[in-house]
């Protein structure tokens, strides 16, 4: 591997999400629109986990059926709620893990999840791991590049506390689109609300 093969990427991800976000960026709203890769996206609010948690995602995303979910996530520990675009290239998924959890455990947990993926997939290129507070929401996250057939895939894995439980999420897209999606994904994360706070 050449010294500069991932140099620019690693420099970009050495900065925090806050440094990479526009000053006016905030939680996505259903009235917002965005253009990524020449496609215009509008947004919808979806409710998950028996209505206890909501999040705003593109209207073009639909819930992945069970057969497709098994193919994309062959592990029995696949995400509980998966939303995808028409061709499966863009995905955002969520799991609410049923054990007590608070924001003070985020840093430890995100490190453990990253280590597990590194050990299982040593060829993946890991870009960063951080814990930040954005708009009063504490987020632990890591980003990595994986392979899918002849393409490179960008993965953004995050943890927040919701309903006093660990909410684990993952977004993935073709790597060439990741710079446009990265900020938008963070804005979607900031839109996550518990039922009692809506």
User: Is 175 within a domain?
Assistant: yes
Would you state the pLDDT for residue 76? 75
Q: Is residue 188 included in any domain, yes or no?
A: yes
CA separation for the pair 137, 186 (Å, rounded): 11
| Domain count of the fold of the chain | 1
- Please tell me the number of Cα atoms within 13 Å of 176 on its side-chain side: 5
CA 169 – CA 38 distance, rounded (Å): 26
Instruction: Write the CB contacts of 166 (distance below 8 Å, at least 6 apart in sequence).
Output: 96, 97, 99, 101, 105, 109, 159
Instruction: Give the distance from CA 102 to its chain's centroid.
Output: 19
Query: What domain range is 98 assigned to?
Result: 7-197
**106-152: pLDDT as tens digits:** 999 999 999 999 999 999 999 999 999 987 889 999 999 998 777 89
Angle among Cα 84, 20, 134 to the nearest 5 degrees reads: 80
Residue 53: burial class (beta carbons within 10 Å; 0-12, 13-18, 19+): buried
Which CATH number fits the domain that encloses residue 37?
3.40.1000.10
Give per-residue pLDDT as tens, 36-83: 989 999 999 999 999 999 999 999 999 998 888 888 887 778 899 999
Residue 63 lies in a domain: yes
């Amino acid at each position: 591997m050449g010294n500069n093969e991932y140099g620019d990427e690693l420099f970009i991800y050495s900065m925090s999400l806050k440094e990479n976000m526009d000053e006016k960026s905030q939680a996505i709203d259903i009235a917002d629109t965005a253009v990524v890769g020449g496609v215009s996206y509008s947004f919808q609010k979806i409710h998950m986990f028996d209505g206890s948690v909501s999040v705003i995602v593109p209207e073009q995303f639909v819930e992945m059926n069970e057969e497709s979910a098994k193919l994309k996530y062959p592990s029995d520990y696949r995400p509980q709620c998966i939303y995808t675009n028409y061709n499966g290239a863009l995905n955002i998924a969520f799991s609410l893990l049923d054990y007590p959890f608070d924001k003070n455990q985020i840093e430890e947990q995100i490190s453990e999840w990253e280590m597990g993926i590194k050990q299982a997939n040593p060829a993946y290129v890991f870009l960063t791991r951080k814990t930040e507070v954005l708009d009063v929401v504490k987020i632990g996250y890591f980003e990595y590049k994986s392979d899918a057939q002849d393409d490179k895939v960008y993965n953004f894995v995050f943890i927040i506390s919701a309903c006093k439980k660990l909410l684990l999420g993952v977004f993935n897209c073709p790597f060439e689109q990741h710079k446009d999606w990265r900020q938008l994904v963070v804005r979607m994360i900031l839109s996550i609300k518990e039922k009692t706070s809506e």
